[in-house]
Amino acid sequence: MIATDERWRVWNASSARYLRLSLGAEHHFAQVGTDGGLLEQPRDELTELLLAPGERTELVVRAGMRPAQTVLTAGVYDRSKMAMSHGSLPPEPARALADVRFEPSVVAGNAQASRVIPASLRLVPPLGTPATQKSVVFSEAMDMVAMQRHGASAHGIPAGMTFMVNGATFDPGRVSLTSRRGEIELWSIENRTDMDHPFHLHGTQFQVIERERGAVKTPEPYRAWRDTVNVQPGETVRIATVQQMAGNRMFHCRILEHEDLGMMGTLKVI
């Protein structure tokens, strides 16, 4: 039950499911934070928000002016999940996550007014001009003979399916990329597969700069600190980031089955 405006911290802890969150078309909410905390400015009047596996968000859900009831729903989202024998599987149906009842508090005979969200939440300064650039390419390969062999998926890992970073599956003994401490970098994450992949970077957070699809570049509409970003098929997402501690860390697809099948690399920071 929501009696006054509430601030929700929402985590998508699923291994692979995308959450297209909605309280219904009649109930708006504001996004005020992401993986790394508060945004610069709130994103108000939203009716839905997509969370990829591993992503977090902070929402302000308003009690409203009168009693009401709705359902927090994970709506249909087609991530083009691949079938073992043919094309893509149909998207999963919408799922009800919680029943929500709005019972706004009454003060002096009037429903409590919504709290005003500050126009500026915190300063998120741009990282500045990058000193170097890096490229990460997600790709996939299928061995149809191996996939269709009897008992190929008896242990839950589909034989013959390979997910790669920069043309190679994960090898714990191999360094995929090298960075220098304190050096601002521009990373391009390109998805050459037929399905969505949420990119995740360890050791720091990043700012999404722009997205490119079909030769059309679109600046990210808001600036925030994040460590996970979804990359759609045929899309390139560019991020600015900087590592401050020496050592080895990982970057990978946040869908655990894809990570386990090779879509992961080691970043060495010197």
- Which residues, including other chains, have CB under 8 Å from residue 62's CB and lie 6 or more apart? 5, 28, 29, 114
Could you tell me if 121 and 225 are in contact, meaning their C-beta atoms sit under 8 angstroms apart?
A: no
Domain that holds residue 222: 132-269
**178 plus 251 within the same structural domain:** yes
**68 plus 177 within the same structural domain:** no
Q: What is the pTM of this model?
A: 0.90
Which CATH number covers residue 228?
2.60.40.420
**Count: domains in the chain:** 2
Local structure of 258: helix, strand or coil = helix
Could you tell me if 5 and 103 are in contact, meaning their C-beta atoms sit under 8 angstroms apart?
A: no
Convert the pLDDT of each residue in 70-116 to its tens digit: 999 999 999 987 665 556 678 889 999 999 999 998 754 555 567 78
pLDDT of residue 164: 97
**245 plus 198 within the same structural domain:** yes
Res. 7: pLDDT tops 70: yes
pLDDT of residue 25: 93
Res. 238: pLDDT tops 60: yes
**96 plus 209 within the same structural domain:** no
Altogether, the residues listed in the chain come to a count of 270
Does residue 126 lie in a domain region?
no
**143 plus 96 within the same structural domain:** no
Mean pLDDT value of segment 196-223: 97
**140 plus 264 within the same structural domain:** yes
Amino acid code (one letter) for 99: D
Residue 253: pLDDT band by 50, 70, 90 thresholds?
very high
Does residue 117 lie in a domain region?
no
Q: Cβ–Cβ contacts within 10 Å for residue 56, how many?
A: 18
